[in-house]
Structure 1
């Protein structure tokens, strides 16, 4: 299975999580810096997947996961599990809070949190 993870490499949270991923050997993991793939991100946005609202994961060029759903999917195939991702608290409270922290941290670092603007 080919798995492409689009993430903001300039975001400390996103970068740390991408390094945390250890995907099982039966999968081909490709980490893509979103800031270097704007054309692809614009295509995703037309489909309703906005990188500024979370990770985008594409599986075998035909299935897309976004935000908390992307993290949940990755958690099902990684060797290093996050133990609280597949529930409403993660999706509705924790993940939105981390997105807010991301925007604040990038602002403090003088980096834009809006990749498509």
Structure 2
């Protein structure tokens, strides 16, 4: 019996697990962690951080987060476009680890916009807001790099843009790290100074707004997580 533990109050999560077509038809049990308190308590006792991602159990072994998605992907049948995309994108664990922070931040963003609480009662909502900001700041910075490289014919890229791209990619691997976010903010600010004033006024405004938002968020982060 394969069991998938997921967040039933997250529309994204619910739609994903219900549309997923697995080769183990009839042997899959979907467990809503919002309703099954016993399952939630058991997983928390085992050390699973349920707001970090879904959990999959099969044959006595459990997989969480990106490992859970990577485990399910090869079991997907090519029945529709969603399953084909899921199988192609997440079958390799290394790719799943890169892409999963985007999915997790998307879930947190949906819960935030819908004013719904996290699964774990004691979790600090500011941690979710921090990772949402960091992940999408990193994503925007990647787009910013390629926009300058191709739209403005700045290829090969300048050293400052290489630093921006490097910090942005690192952000995907460590979206909860305050140090990585600070590094991305710092190199973005340096890049703004290097480009000023002729290249792009909107870049100056963008960097100033992001720097102010990031500093405000960083100042309010709990001391226990400020240096992760």
For the superposition of Structure 1 and Structure 2, which TM-score range results when normalised by the shorter chain?
A: 0.7 to 0.9
What is the CA distance between 1:89 and its match in structure 2?
3.9
Contact 1:3/1:27 (CA < 8 Å) preserved in 2? no
Corresponding position: 1:106 with 2:111: yes
Contact 1:5–1:56 (8 Å) recurs in 2 = yes
Contact 2:53 2:65 in 1 (8 A): yes
Per the normalisation by structure 1, the TM-score is: 0.85
Higher-Rg structure is 2
Match of 2:61 in 1: 63
State TM-score, norm by structure 2. 0.46
Q: Does the aligned pair in 1 maintain the 2:70–2:96 contact within 8 Å?
A: no
- Contact 1:38/1:116, CA 8 A, preserved across alignment: no
* Compared CA separation, residues 26 and 39, structure 1 to 2 (3 A): closer
SS in 1 for 2:89: coil
Which residues in structure 2 correspond to 1:36-75 (within 5 Å)? 36-60=35-59, 62-75=60-73
Q: Write 1 or 2 for the structure with the bigger share of strand.
A: 1
Q: Please state how far the C-alpha of 1:50 moved relative to its aligned partner.
A: 1.7
Runs of 4+, deviation exceeding 6 Å:
none
Q: 1:115 aligns with which of 119, 125, 130?
A: 119
Which runs of 5 or more structure 1 residues have no equivalent in the other structure?
Answer: none
The answer to which structure has the higher helix fraction is: 2
Gap runs ≥5 in structure 2: 78-82, 122-228
Relative contact order (C-alpha < 8 Å, sep 6+): which is higher? 1
Cα distance change of structure 1 residues 89 and 78 upon mapping to structure 2, 3 Å threshold: closer
- Residue-by-residue CA offset, 1:29-56 (whole Å, 9 max, x unaligned): 1111110122222221222222111011
Secondary structure of the 1:84 match is helix
| Alpha-carbon distance in structure 2 between the residues aligned to 1:88 and 1:36 | 32
Any idea what SS the aligned residue of 1:95 has? helix
- Number of positions where the alignment pairs a residue of Structure 1 with one of Structure 2: 113
CA distance in 2, matches of 1:27, 1:58: 15
